Amino acid sequence: MLASLLDHLRRRRRHYATLCALLGLGLITDRPHRASEAQLEDVRARDFLNIQTRNTPTTYYEGRQGPTGFEYELMRRFADYLGVSLNLDADHNIAEALEAVRREGDLGAAALPLDPTRDGLMYSRPIMPLQPLLVYRRGLPPPAEIADLEGLSIGTLSNTGTDRVMHELQAEHPWLSWQEADDIEVSALLGRVSDGTLDAAVVFERQFRLNRLFFPEVEDGFRLGRPLSLAWAFPSERGLGLLREANRFLATLQDSGLLARLETRYLGRDDYLEYVGARTFIGHVHERLPEYDTLFREAARQSGFDWKLLAAVGYQESHWRPQATSPTGVRGLMMLTNATAAEMNVSNRLDPAQSIDGGARYLRSLKDRLPESITGEDRLFMALAAYNVGLGHLYDARRIAEMRGGDPDAWEDVRDALPLLQEREWFSKTRYGYARGGEPVIYVRNIRRYHEILAYVDRSRQQFHRLSARQPLPADDTRFNRVPPSG
């Protein structure tokens, strides 16, 4: 009885500490000040912040220019705020990340829902809302309310907060049943809906928006329950100092408007028309690309480009159709002109191997011929524009950019100048004259988008293989635990 009472008091104290921290209040305590600041002082003494995270699109992943992601951006800025470096441990699911925070981490930033009832943890102030969403496989009758879920096979992820919402709904609807898993990610869950293993799933709305491009067979249904809050988790036994600093940092980001801008940059893009076009692209990734990806990889090794970039160019040119022919006479998978084919020693433009190899070498030659003053991604984007509109017209656009006070070596300024090649006021001042200058702008934008999607798909496949190697998937998918009806 006494042990039970003491445990209850300890829980109440821990929850009170979390509430005070969330409100920015100090906790009245009999602990010495040094003990309450122990974790913060330890971080500063060792000069790095140890963060437990996850490898997901909303959290942290390796991009083309290094680590990126919404929460990674916040972690990096928080480390800078403290004047320390950043050390990430991303080999976790949510349950593992929370346990690692309890044992050894300074904080957990892993798309965690604020849950002050968890033992051994306390949470930062809310970072952004997390709205649970029911999604379903296209072809099923569209569910619009809870009653429509009866008889459906539904899945969700344990420890994410969506499972908590399902339990709350079950209290009102005892017939409700679903399956939970704690060692897969949202993309794998949506994959099970897409392939028919599940009829529906409950995920957070932002997660679905980021993943919907890659699962064209999955549709959004309706919102479930109340929004939760994304927050950072801290060990509750090592003082409030680091938590207080995190709350001050997050409050500053919110007050300055930077937090909202970062949300938009990393999580806010969801153009429906772009999504519809991307659904077609993803279908072709699965249906057409496997026939040619070996050729793209070989051309990439020879030319020094990322194979996914070359594949993106090929898709923009022909939708990976080797017999493609335009009214102007360009032909083949990479849509080479007769002149370009001759320059690249391509004897048969309709042969996929020759077309891909010739297109890759031509793009390399364009990039190499640009002035040395153009560097980095600006150089790549201008080479892509030249592949579409020609090197002469690109140089004309650079000249227009300079006449307008811009930087001829910056793609952003040249991009703005290219459409002016359609206006007599401007093209009359150039060497090569009129061009449909709006086309290369769209051309480069589309290739960048296709490249981004291909990079995500490739990265997701690698992550899936790593997870499968670590925990092989049983034939009956016993990763899921069924939650039966409660009544």
Q: Which residues are catalytic?
A: 317
Q: 345 — phi, psi (to 5°)?
A: 60, 40
Query: Exposure of 132 by Cβ count < 10 A (0-12 exposed, 13-18 middle, 19+ buried)?
Result: buried
Helices then strands, each counted (H, E), the chain: 20, 14
Torsion of CA 29, 41, 21, 54, to 10 degrees: -140
Alpha carbon distance 27, 296 (integer Å) = 61
Cite the DSSP H helix spans in 352-437: 352-369, 376-389, 391-403, 411-417, 424-427
Residue count (the chain): 487
Contact 199, 154 (CB under 8 A): yes
Helix (H, G, I), strand (E, B) or coil at 47: coil
Name the token pair of 107.
């904080």
Q: Which helix (H) or strand (E) holds 421?
A: none
Q: Which helix (H) or strand (E) holds 265?
A: helix 258-267
Three-class SS string for 278-300?
HHHHHHHHHHCHHHCHHHHHHHH
Name the token pair of 425.
């006021």
